[in-house]
Amino acid sequence: MQRTILLKTHKREALYDITSDVQAVIKEAGVKNGLVNIYVRGATAAIMIQENWDESVQEDVVEFLRKIVPRGVWQHDQQDGNGDAHLKAGLIGPGETIPVMNGEIGLSTWQNIFVCEFDGPRKTREVVVTVINAGKV
């Protein structure tokens, strides 16, 4: 089964928690054991599994990436000023695959699924969620 989550972003760079949205797709699919793949469409966004306890870790991720991939110094900036966003998205990657265990996302207590926005704000980010049934496991 496959569904698309639509997400509106409000900042140029931020992490947005979509864990409950992904879990809802798993519930709708009725899959007990299998895999869920989360894929963000677009060359300036990414998917990351990260700590969910408080926002400091997500803010640290954004700040770390700003330090290692600064804005305004890349060849692509001459076209549309977002060379850093492309590089950050490429470093993190567009997707994650997570086990589905007993109908639940196989994340640990402190993990959540985040869309990483690097070129916002955007009216719509599309996140494709694909649930695959492993059958009897």
Query: Nearest-CA neighbor of 121 among 4, 16, 5, 3?
Result: 16
* Contact status, residue 36 vs residue 26, Cβ threshold 8 Å: yes
**Interval 21-59: pLDDT, tens:** 999 999 999 999 999 999 999 999 999 999 988 889 999
The conformation of residue 118, written as its DSSP 8-state character, comes to S
The pLDDT > 70 percentage for the chain reads: 99
Distance between CA atoms of 127 and 4, rounded to whole angstroms?
5
| Count of beta carbons in the 10 Å neighbourhood of residue 131 | 20
**Interval 51-87: pLDDT, tens:** 988 889 999 999 999 999 999 999 998 999 999 999 9
| CATH superfamily of the 2-133 domain | YjbQ-like (2.60.120.460)
Taking the C-alpha atoms of 131, 89, 49 and 67 in order, what is their torsion angle to the nearest 10 degrees?
180
* Contact status, residue 116 vs residue 92, Cβ threshold 8 Å: yes
Q: What is the pTM of this model?
A: 0.95
Query: Nearest-CA neighbor of 48 among 101, 98, 102?
Result: 98
**Interval 108-131: pLDDT, tens:** 999 999 999 999 999 999 999 999
Name the 3-class secondary structure at 108: coil
